[in-house]
């Protein structure tokens, strides 16, 4: 231990710890109360902003089939025709049946993967910029880019313009990375799980309410002609504009000037590390880190990537499974995803938010263990009871693992490294979501749903083993003592 005495550590230092021995108890109590009130105000601001943003982001989801049908009528659109040929080639290669909705699912998967891969490239850069210039300026610029993407969508006349809008949105959408870093700035080890759970709850609310609003627009679109997407696009743009005003007025920067990264030149020199997949998995952009802490961060990133790779792949094939085994209509599938969202919001709000300090690893382990029988049950289900039993376990796993892994990795890093760490972390998740769906889609149509879900459920053993063996459960500070 003495040999590492001078070795710099990737860990956080709480200001309350530095002064606890010299401040009177009454003063400490008063300061703690004021700090708690300030932190809660930050939580509420971030939570509200994310809900508004996710409502705008998810309103498009039920519209995708109608959008693709609309763009498909424009035979002169080269990009659409090229992508449709690729989709048909993939369908024929996999031996998929000629079901019209499957075209929309695959096409939507391509659009979603494009968005995720763009996030893979931009999240580390946005996180690093927030370390350098502060959370609020970077957040506002990111949100403005998203607003521009919605305006272009509203004005789009063809599929190519729609893809350009999604491209700009994918490159700009770094608000979740920045908000996660902001939560890390203001929380201690005791309150961080609460903060991460609130981000998860915001996601659940957004993915419950947003698609419902989108479904209303989709229903109206069947009754009207013309550019039916104009109203939902304007709706998303207005929400985005309101979100910008809300952040501008109520969000106080959580990273003071004195705690920010100081050299733009040094950050630019690391640009290669922010876009190189190998460097991202190695967290090469981080400096001043001990070998033990860096090793832990790398394993957490790998666990997160593997979990989301398997999870997103199986989640994507649910649409095919429900059609094949239960003949679910789009409405019934919507109700199924509504059920998943409600369970996730309940678990995050009633359980994850109240986790005791240091229990994140145990909870993430429980979530991965629950995921395995959950996916197996979904794959073998022949009755709604078995299906929804599996989906309940699936939802519990999803609601616990990601917030807990995020909370674990947020304990590492100095103040001017939090944005980079969270950016790289989310980038690895985006990469998993970008490639996982089509890998598992290929497996689904090659081996069938039974083997895809049974073997897929066993794959979760890999991140579970890595988490249990290589990620310590104790705090970095405590570990160093």
Residues 319-371 have pLDDT tens digits of 778 877 888 776 677 788 888 889 998 999 889 888 888 899 999 999 999 99
Q: What is the DSSP string of 288-348?
A: S--HHHHHHHHHHHHHHHHHHHHHHHHHHTHHHHHHHHH---HHHHHHHHHHHHHHHHHHH
**C-alpha neighbours within 13 Å on the C-beta side of residue 337:** 25
Contact predicate 364/306, CB 8 Å:
no
Instruction: Specify the pTM.
Output: 0.79
3-state class (DSSP) for residue 11 = strand
Can you tell me the distance from the alpha carbon of 171 to that of 182, in angstroms, rounded to the nearest whole number?
20
478, pLDDT greater than 60: no
Nearest to 141 by CA among 125, 162, 120: 125
Token pair, residue 148, equals 């521009």
Structure tokens at 334: 């919507």
DSSP 2: G
**Residue 412 per-residue DSSP state:** B
Q: How many CB atoms lie within 10 A of CB 157?
A: 11
Tokens of 344: 């996730």
CATH numbers and ranges of domains, the chain: 40-85+101-253+260-275 (1.20.1250.20), 278-472 (1.20.1250.20)
Rg (CA), the chain: 23
The rounded distance, in Å, linking the Cα atoms of 341 and 399 is: 9
Q: What is the pLDDT of residues 413-461, one digit of tens each?
A: 877 788 888 888 988 999 999 898 888 888 888 787 888 899 999 999 9
Grade residue 246 by pLDDT with cuts at 50, 70 and 90: very high
**Angle, CA 183 vertex, CA 281 and CA 34 arms, to 5°:** 155
Mean pLDDT confidence for 24-40 = 64
- Among the listed residues 222, 221, 223, the one whose alpha carbon sits nearest the alpha carbon of residue 231: 221
Question: Would the pLDDT of 9 be above 70?
Answer: no
Which of 194, 172, 173 minimizes the C-alpha distance to 183? 194
């Amino acid at each position: 231990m003495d040999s590492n005495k001078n070795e710099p550590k990737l860990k956080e230092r709480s200001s309350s710890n530095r002064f606890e021995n010299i401040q009177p108890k009454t003063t400490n109590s008063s300061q703690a109360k004021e700090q708690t009130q300030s932190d809660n105000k930050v939580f509420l601001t971030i939570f509200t902003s994310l809900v508004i943003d996710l409502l705008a982001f998810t309103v498009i989801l039920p519209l995708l089939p109608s959008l693709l049908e609309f763009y498909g009528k424009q035979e002169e659109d080269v990009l659409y025709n090229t992508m449709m040929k690729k989709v048909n080639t993939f369908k024929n290669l996999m031996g998929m049946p000629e079901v019209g909705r499957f075209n929309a699912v695959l096409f939507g998967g391509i659009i979603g993967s494009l968005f995720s891969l763009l996030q893979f490239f931009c999240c580390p850069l946005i996180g690093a910029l927030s370390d350098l210039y502060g959370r609020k300026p970077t957040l506002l610029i990111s949100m403005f880019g998203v607003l521009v993407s919605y305006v272009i969508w509203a004005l789009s006349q063809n599929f190519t313009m729609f893809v350009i809008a999604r491209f700009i949105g994918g490159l700009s959408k770094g608000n979740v990375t920045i908000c996660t870093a902001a939560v890390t700035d203001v929380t201690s080890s005791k309150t961080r799980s609460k903060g991460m759970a609130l981000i998860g709850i915001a996601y659940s609310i957004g993915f419950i309410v947003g698609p419902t609003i989108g479904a209303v627009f989709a229903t109206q679109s069947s009754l009207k002609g013309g550019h039916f997407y104009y109203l939902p696009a304007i709706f998303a743009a207005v929400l985005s504009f309101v979100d910008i005003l809300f952040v501008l007025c109520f969000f106080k920067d959580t990273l003071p000037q004195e705690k920010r990264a100081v050299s733009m030149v040094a950050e630019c020199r690391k640009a290669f590390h922010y876009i190189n997949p190998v460097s991202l998995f190695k967290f090469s952009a981080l400096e001043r880190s001990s070998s033990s802490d860096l090793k832990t961060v790398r394993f957490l990133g790998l666990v997160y990537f593997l979990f989301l790779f398997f999870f997103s792949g199986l989640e994507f094939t649910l649409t095919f499974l429900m059609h094949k085994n239960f003949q679910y209509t789009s409405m019934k599938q919507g109700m199924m995803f509504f059920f998943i969202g409600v369970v996730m919001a309940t678990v995050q709000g009633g359980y994850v938010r109240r986790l005791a300090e240091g229990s994140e690893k145990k909870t993430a382990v429980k979530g991965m263990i629950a995921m395995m029988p959950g996916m197996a049950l979904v794959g073998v289900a022949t009755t709604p009871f078995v299906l929804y039993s599996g989906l309940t376990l699936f939802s519990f796993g999803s609601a616990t693992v990601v917030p807990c892994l995020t909370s674990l990795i947020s304990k590492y890093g100095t103040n001017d490294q939090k944005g980079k760490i969270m950016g790289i972390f989310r980038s690895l998740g985006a990469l998993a979501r970008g490639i996982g769906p089509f890998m598992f889609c290929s497996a689904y149509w090659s081996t069938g749903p039974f083997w895809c879900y049974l073997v897929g459920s066993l794959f979760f053993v890999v991140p579970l083993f890595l988490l249990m063996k290589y990620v310590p459960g104790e705090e970095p500070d405590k570990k160093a003592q």
